[in-house]
Structure 1
Amino acid sequence: MPMQVKPLGEVMAAEITGVDLCAPVSDALKASLKQAIADHLVICIRDQDLTPRELADASRLFGPLKTFVLREDRIDEAPEVSIVSNRPKLNDGKPLVQAKHWHTDDSYLAAPATLTLLYAKTLPKDGGDTEFINCYDVLDALPAAMRSRVANLRAVHKYLSRRNASWVAERSAEEEAETPEVDHPMIRTHPLSGRQSLYINPNRIDRIAGWSDAESDALLDELYEFAFQPQFQYRHKWRYGDLVVWDNRCTMHRANADYDIDQPRVMHRVMLEGEIPR
């Protein structure tokens, strides 16, 4: 069966069927998958059965891979693959929903990951969806006066921001040295589409460069309130076999914490080599 693309949401996302990523993938199919991401920002490739090594190999169809900063989350047999789960992470031994606040991956790095791939391994009985925001649409809808204020601003991103909304894992000394604070433009131009989007990350932005904390907080809070509106969102309901791919350059996402936390939710994640936001 040839590859089929079916829109999943009104503002972004598409379902991909008719693709087996364990089988040889032609150049034409690879191009079609990349075009689907460009068109829909988020794609869900259904009905995959992938070991960590097969997931890493399939991910290379989209570009060169990187390894996640935190060594302890990497899978030994395929270090490009990391585990994202709600298994106990805190000292009290209680499960923890990671990434439950809006963010875009890797923005605390000078060259954040371009794409992220997330593969469902263990799902709760109900809930545990992943939600996405179309940041192209956010910028397009931003009032002209607000857009003018943001146009030439840069935000300082830190692994451990003073505004961190979600729990973040501790870093080793080596990992800390690899993640100094960086600054990025708040309006980002996609190198492939040429479109601009609002590039924000509530979990990693510490402040606006050159502004006081109070001034930064006032503008950031206003931008976040605007960006979080439902009309910009798509909510993905996971099935076993789903491989979801999204473009970090023009989206935000979060894991939904609406399920019984004692039920395991385990995902395998791959990220593509990054580029400096322009």
Structure 2
Amino acid sequence: MFTITKLSRAIGADANIDLRKLAESKDPAVVAAVREAVQTHFVLRFRDQHLSADEFVGLASAFGHTKTLKRATAATSAHLSSHPQIKVVSNVSIDGRPIGDGGSSENYWHTDGTYLPQPVELTFLYGRESPKANPPKTFFMNLSDVHDRLPRYLTSYLSELSCIHYSKYNFAPEYAEQIAALPEGADRRHIGPSFPLVRRNPHSGRPSLYLPRQRQCLIEGLTSEESEKLSDLLWTYVEAYNDTWGDVIGVNDLFVFDNGYTLHRREAFDTSERRVLWHIATEGEPPIPYGDGVLASGPRRSPGRSGNGERA
């Protein structure tokens, strides 16, 4: 049907398939094969693709219900008025008006759309313009692999915890009234869906970290200070992990990746250079806890703390 070439040990593969034909046919067997490849390799790169906006939307919709992750300020940006499903990711402005969301500064490690009650499953990124000088690479990280490298005492502790996924820049419509009721400048970290810090991958059965985009998140059963310390600890392990893969998303390159079990980041680039991507996401399912999924009542002790409050 098509061939797959691994790009690194932990994540990423090239696939040689004409996505325009798949967008037209939506062949269930091919869609299932591509989905299985994404589940196995987490990121697929398809080079030299030639899709119209209609075809890009048709391709993504073959994999599930599509969602746009335009920021709340999207009303001030142009995007593609003819295709509201497509978010334009770009640093370009015309007559002072951004043509989409984004900029040229570094976009740090994150997962898309975790602030939604039905979080994002797949992200489709299609390269339309790329800087000619020093184009930035987009890197990807396998969070199941990161979890496997954590100390055992920590993975056992994490498996019983859930975290509130709030957003600084966007929020799900389900929380609009709660957000609007807050006084200006109020802490909004308690508003958002609660998801397990360690989720089960139903495809492989493996545990995987599931981290909110905002580091100063609240972890249920812990104080704000304890939440921030644990979050900082987890991000220390993430930043120390170096078995990542990344490359430039060039013109006509299309990347598809699974947000449930990966992080991605993009390098900074020269602000005078033009970069334009089309972005579509598909809706996923709420994460399955890797543990028993039942949180005990009452506050939880931090790892390394004995019952008398002293550090073990």
TM-score scaled to structure 1, two decimals? Answer: 0.85
In 1, the alpha carbon distance for the partners of 2:46 and 2:176 equals 35
1:16 aligns with 2:12: no
Per the alignment, in what secondary structure is the counterpart of residue 62 of structure 1? coil
Q: CA deviation at 1:208?
A: 1.2
Paired amino acid for 2:273:
Q
1:121 aligns with 2:124: no
Q: Are the counterparts in 2 of residues 86 and 265 from structure 1 also a CA contact under 8 Å?
A: yes
User: Which runs of structure 2 are paired with 1:181-196 in the superposition (5 Å)?
Assistant: 181-196=192-207
1:226 aligns with 2:237: yes
Tell me the residue number matched to 1:110: 117
Per the alignment, in what secondary structure is the counterpart of residue 108 of structure 2? coil
Q: CA deviation at 1:205?
A: 5.6
What do residues 163-193 of structure 1 show as CA deviations (whole Å, max 9, x unaligned)?
Answer: xxxxx47x89998449842211100112333
What do residues 134-163 of structure 1 show as CA deviations (whole Å, max 9, x unaligned)?
Answer: 001011111101112211111111111xxx
Q: CA deviation at 1:28?
A: 2.7
Change (3 A) 1:5 1:202: same
Q: Are the counterparts in 1 of residues 127 and 250 from structure 2 also a CA contact under 8 Å?
A: yes
Tell me the residue number matched to 1:163: none
TM-score scaled to structure 2, two decimals? Answer: 0.77
In 1, the alpha carbon distance for the partners of 2:15 and 2:172 equals 39
Change (3 A) 1:208 1:240: same
1:130 aligns with 2:138: yes
Per the alignment, in what secondary structure is the counterpart of residue 217 of structure 2? strand
Q: Are the counterparts in 2 of residues 86 and 98 from structure 1 also a CA contact under 8 Å?
A: no
Tell me the residue number matched to 1:83: 88
Query: How much is the aligned-residue C-alpha RMSD, in angstroms?
Result: 2.8
In 2, the alpha carbon distance for the partners of 1:158 and 1:176 equals 12
Paired amino acid for 1:272:
T
Tell me the residue number matched to 1:147: 155
1:250 aligns with 2:255: no
Q: CA deviation at 1:10?
A: 2.2
Q: CA deviation at 1:209?
A: 1.7
Q: Are the counterparts in 2 of residues 136 and 250 from structure 1 also a CA contact under 8 Å?
A: yes
Single out whichever of 74-83 and 216-225 deviates more from structure 2: 74-83
1:236 aligns with 2:236: no
Query: Which of 276, 279, 285 in structure 2 is aligned with 1:269?
Result: 279
Single out whichever of 229-238 and 17-26 deviates more from structure 2: 17-26
State the structure with more CA Rg: 2
Q: Are the counterparts in 1 of residues 140 and 264 from structure 2 also a CA contact under 8 Å?
A: yes
Structure showing greater relative contact order (alpha-carbon pairs closer than 8 Å, 6 or more residues apart): 1
Tell me the residue number matched to 2:306: none
Single out whichever of 207-216 and 131-140 deviates more from structure 2: 207-216
Q: CA deviation at 1:65?
A: 1.3
Per the alignment, in what secondary structure is the counterpart of residue 102 of structure 1? strand
Tell me the residue number matched to 2:208: 197
Tell me the residue number matched to 2:292: none
In 2, the alpha carbon distance for the partners of 1:254 and 1:273 equals 21
Change (3 A) 1:152 1:116: same
Change (3 A) 1:204 1:77: farther
What do residues 89-137 of structure 1 show as CA deviations (whole Å, max 9, x unaligned)?
Answer: 9x9x9x8337701110111111111111111111112231111110010
Count of paired positions:
266
Q: Are the counterparts in 2 of residues 155 and 205 from structure 1 also a CA contact under 8 Å?
A: no
Change (3 A) 1:119 1:177: farther
In 2, the alpha carbon distance for the partners of 1:16 and 1:121 equals 19
User: Which runs of structure 2 are paired with 1:201-216 in the superposition (5 Å)?
Assistant: 201-203=212-214, 206-216=217-227
What runs of 5+ residues in structure 2 fail to find an aligned partner? 180-190, 289-312
Paired amino acid for 1:229:
A
Per the alignment, in what secondary structure is the counterpart of residue 25 of structure 2? coil
Paired amino acid for 2:34:
L
Single out whichever of 236-245 and 71-80 deviates more from structure 2: 71-80
In 1, the alpha carbon distance for the partners of 2:178 and 2:251 equals 35
In 2, the alpha carbon distance for the partners of 1:57 and 1:246 equals 17
Per the alignment, in what secondary structure is the counterpart of residue 260 of structure 2? coil
Paired amino acid for 1:17:
N
